[in-house]
Chain A
Amino acid sequence: MSIEVRNISKAFGSFRALDNVSLTVPDGKLVALLGPSGSGKTTLLRIIAGLEQADSVPGKAVLFAGQDVSDRGVGERRVGFVFQHYALFRTMTVFENVAFGLRSLPRRARPPKREIAAKVNELLALVQLTGLENRRPWQLSGGQRQRVALARALAIKPSVLLLDEPFGALDANVRQDLRNWLRRLHNEIKVTSLFVTHDQEEALELADVVVIMRQGRVEQIGTPDEVFHKPASEFVLRFLGKVNLFHGRNGTGADPAAPRSNGLRLLARPHEVEISLTATAESSVQARVARILSAGPSVKILLLEADGTEHHADISHKHREELGLTEGQTAYVTPVSFHTFLDHGAAI
């Protein structure tokens, strides 16, 4: 079931959490809402769920499969919602947690006991928690709790699944496992899913579509490839990883021909720069090698210009050996491919 929001705004006092947001989540897709804290992503998720009301602006709407659900209460939207800290019912067992939604159905729609039990067991098998039915939430690990929350949300056959920072409260290694598992699960059940995250790696790895938010507005919507390779703004580029700025800063640039006067900024990611011992292009910048981190698949190099500007470069181990690079040495950084933005951050 697709999700569409139109003209959604939300202010808390004088703070504008959402500023006229519109977006569409296609049916069956796994979509990430990505942004720094305070960008309004959780508020948007809660408005879709019906947990918050959007400010009444003409034309505002939340639609599931083309149907306006704005007037439906939280219980009538059939939204599966996984809270950041799971919000498991502390006084209930795992089984009771998962069964809660089914047992809350009106009497005529409620399945008989045996069917509920079968359904719950099926879900627990799906989230790989068979055998833990009688545990209480506090007897589970973080990863297990998260899967209980997911099973509980799925029990009501939700039309859409909303997850608020689903991996936020987990350890790094559990996080990676659960991320892969969630992707496989989504391929299996194909329910339209929207999750909030502030971790760009998580969003890019997991989602079919990434929605990048900033200060209550949607900055860009696209596939992970699109947002990574064709960032719509300098903010998107910077949010998705380290960048090197080559023009537009104060002081003397390396290239007098650079169109600094019209406010152009040239940015390149660490893997998009080249390091050499001599200037290879007009745009080459002289810098001192401040730090070399070679414990990893590539060599990460931090370089400092005379005015303190930092540059980050990722090069292969082989290339580094060829250059014979050592800390303290002077080298040149040259952007090989780059993104250009006007001073106010828009792409050109």
Chain B
Amino acid sequence: MAQGRRLASAGSDPVRWLLIGVAVLFLTVFLVLPLACVFIEALARGPAVYWRSITDSDALSAMLLTLLTAGVAVPLNLVFGLAVAWCVAKFSFSGKTLLVTLIDLPFSVSPVVAGLAFVLLFGMQGLFGPWLAAHDIRIIFAVPGIFLVTIFVTVPFVARELIPAMQAQGTDEEQAALLLGASGWRTFWRVTLPGVRWALVYGVILCNARAMGEFGAVSVVSGHIRGQTNTLPLAVEILYNEYQFAAAFSVASLLTLLGLAALVARSLAERLQRRQAALATAATLSE
């Protein structure tokens, strides 16, 4: 309703169409073309090459590692997101602002710097390097390193979505549940969690997309060992640097589809939420 009113707002026709034109051109050049480019380049050598590229054994093992990485990073950051959102949104304590600011820190750190941090900690020359070597544990240039940096860069996603959602809930419903004799766990599972489910889903989708797509940080710690420590984004880089453009874009198209799916899922979740809110207002108005 409010949206419609604003959309009708002033702006003489030539200016209006000029501005629309500028915006559309800007979005086309910077967003539509790169997106289209991925798919067209991927299919440039025909569907057979495309299929072969994405079912190549190196590509499959990269896919597996990517899924595994997301499978480790997303649940951990989900649990963290729930915990931090609970204490930040439902309680007041000093240092809260600092904690919330720190959550965003991985967003503002360059992925290369993030990767380097783990190399300096766990690499051969690193702080714990000698100890790890003595115990024959490999973290850097191995799978655990990829897990660690991926967790680092995806820490904020779930938390950032959940904190405002839980804050908007308030604490009355939880108090009511506790008064009715529900345990803390039951209150959390049956009252708090269903209320923030869309934010949770959205946070997980974003976290997952980033976990699967992270390039810079993973690149630093991976060592690019084919079939072992290559994730999909790294496979894209290797194929591209080997001038296997069609193959590079084929693998890239998988990651692109993943990103697009995340966007679609989000807009679906938002639409559901809006529809529910609209129904709620309609119900209140019709009283």
Contacts and interface: CB of A to CB of B under 8 A. Distances in A.
A148 to B, nearest CB: 11
A81 B176 contact: yes
A142 B287 CA distance: 8
Contacts of A78: 181
B180 A152 contact: yes
A74 B179 contact: yes
Interface string B175-198: 111111111001000110011010
B59 to A, nearest CB: 42
A138 B172 contact: no
Contacts of B173: 87-90
Which of B172, B180, B280 has most A Cβ within 10 Å? B180
A346 interface: no
B58 to A, nearest CB: 46
A74 B186 CA distance: 14
A50 B179 CA distance: 9
B283 interface: yes
B47 to A, nearest CB: 45
A101 interface: yes
B181 A87 contact: no
B108 interface: no
Interface residues of A, number: 33
Interface in A292-312: none
Interface string A99-120: 0110011000000000000000
A90 B181 CA distance: 18
A96 B177 CA distance: 12
B191 A74 contact: no
B279 interface: yes
Interface in B109-132: none
B287 A101 contact: no
B101 interface: no
Given A74-B175, A91-B195, A140 B283 contact: yes
A341 interface: no
B283 A75 contact: no
A141 interface: yes
A79 interface: yes
A81 B191 contact: no
Given A85-B172, A87-B176, A100 B182 contact: yes
A51 B195 contact: no
Nearest to A101: B180
A235 interface: no
A100 B177 contact: yes
Contacts of B183: 75, 104
Given A138-B284, A139-B283, A75 B172 contact: no
Contact of B181 (A75, A85, A88, A91): A75
Contacts of A73: 178
Contact of B177 (A76, A79, A85, A104): A104
A245 interface: no
Interface in B270-287: 276, 279-280, 283-284, 287
Contacts of A76: 181
A88 B177 CA distance: 9
Given A90-B195, A139-B283, A156 B176 contact: no
A211 interface: no
Contact of B176 (A77, A89, A139, A141): A89
B43 to A, nearest CB: 44
Contact of A81 (B179, B197, B283): B179
Nearest to B284: A138
A100 B183 CA distance: 12
B287 A141 contact: yes
A81 B174 CA distance: 12
Interface in A57-72: none
B175 A51 contact: yes
Given A104-B177, A142-B287, A87 B172 contact: yes
Contacts of B175: 51, 74, 81, 83, 87
Nearest to B184: A75
B85 to A, nearest CB: 17
A105 B181 contact: yes
B178 to A, nearest CB: 5
A51 B176 CA distance: 10
Interface of B: 172-173, 175-183, 186, 190-191, 194-195, 197, 276, 279-280, 283-284, 287
Given A139-B279, A139-B283, 10 more contacts: A75-B179, A75-B182, A76-B181, A85-B172, A87-B172, A89-B191, A104-B186, A138-B276, A138-B283, A141-B287
Interface of A: 49-51, 73-81, 83, 85, 87-92, 100-101, 104-105, 138-142, 152-153, 155-156
16 contacts: A75-B182, A76-B181, A78-B181, A79-B179, A83-B172, A89-B191, A91-B191, A91-B194, A100-B180, A100-B190, A104-B177, A105-B181, A138-B284, A139-B283, A140-B283, A152-B180
